[in-house]
């Protein structure tokens, strides 16, 4: 085996690993909504769980994830679920990031300038019955 061939393969492999890596960040401000969607209240609260929800949304990033072209609309999703299920709070929020096959297929021609990432949002819509 040729030494130059091994070096070329190693460099190409490192380059592709670098393309698949990123530092995409998502901003979620739960206190920006009116009323706030999340409060850290140490007082015991009685809750009635109305419905569990799970939703998928996409975000768009560029330049290896350093630039956010489009934030995922997390606050809009939470507000829609509150309206849909007539709740006044959301608990057990779980946000997972997934870089799936469709994301790779869409981003491959333009990577690292632009790529998508799928976010899976889960939670429970609740009705807060009392604050004490």
Give the CB-side neighbour count of residue 45, counting CA atoms within 13 A: 17
Instruction: Check: CB of residue 120 under 8 Å from CB of residue 98.
Output: yes
pLDDT of residue 84: 92
Tens-of-pLDDT digits for all 132 residues of the chain?
677 777 888 777 766 665 555 555 555 555 555 555 555 554 556 778 889 999 998 888 777 667 777 777 888 888 899 899 988 888 888 888 887 777 777 776 776 677 788 888 898 998 887 655
Give residue 8's pLDDT: 80
> What b/e readout covers 17-56, taking b as 16+ CB neighbours within 10 angstroms?
eeeeebebeeeeeeeeeeeebeeeeeeeeeeeebeebeee
The reported pLDDT for the residue numbered 21 is 56
- Going by their DSSP bridges, the two strands 67-70 and 89-98 should be labelled as unpaired
Q: In the chain, where does DSSP find H-type helix? A: 3-20, 74-85, 101-107
Give the pLDDT of residue 51. Answer: 92
pLDDT for the residue numbered 37: 54
Q: What is the distance between the alpha carbons of residues 132 and 104, in angstroms, rounded to a whole number? A: 49
Q: What is the pTM of this model?
A: 0.64
């Amino acid at each position: 085996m040729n030494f130059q061939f091994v070096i070329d393969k190693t460099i190409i492999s490192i380059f592709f690993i670098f393309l698949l890596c990123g530092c995409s960040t998502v901003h979620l401000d739960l206190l920006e909504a009116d009323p706030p969607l999340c409060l850290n209240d140490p007082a015991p609260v009685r809750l009635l769980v109305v419905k569990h929800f799970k939703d998928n949304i996409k975000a768009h990033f560029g330049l290896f994830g350093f630039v956010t072209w489009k934030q995922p609309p997390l606050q809009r999703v939470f507000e829609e679920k509150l309206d849909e299920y007539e709740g006044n709070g959301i608990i057990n929020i779980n946000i997972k990031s997934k870089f799936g096959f469709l994301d790779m297929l869409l981003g491959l021609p333009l990577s690292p300038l632009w790529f998508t990432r799928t976010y899976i949002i889960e939670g429970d819509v609740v009705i807060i019955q009392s604050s004490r």
